[in-house]
Amino acid sequence: MSNLATDPIFSALTRPQMIGGVTYSFAVANLIVTLELFLITRSPFAFVFAAIAHGIGFVGCVREPRFFDIWLTKISRCPPVRNARFWRANVYRP
């Protein structure tokens, strides 16, 4: 087994596009929400929300760059059932 040939896969080739440490889709969503918040409130404090949201996104993407994509897929494909609180899991049979 010591003669096993391996090819290194660089993590830069397998990661999604990143902007400032968050995925491109999260950065665009953050931009849209921040601009809408700014247009509604007309307050520059909306940009403080953008900085906080970007920080949360950065922390989420540190270990797993696709964290938010995986989370959105889980929410859309596996909604909780009525007895999830009782069984502490999505169980479809009583």
Task: Tell me which residue of 85, 53, 66 sits closest to 25, measured CA to CA.
Answer: 66
Task: Please tell me which residue, 94 or 34, carries the higher pLDDT value.
Answer: 34
Sketch the domain layout of the chain as residue ranges.
Answer: 16-69
pTM of the predicted model as reported, rounded to 2 decimal places = 0.71
Whether 50 and 30 have beta carbons less than 8 Å apart is answered as yes
Q: Comparing 29-38, 67-76, 79-88, which segment has the lowest mean pLDDT? A: 79-88
Question: Strand, helix or coil at 66?
Answer: coil
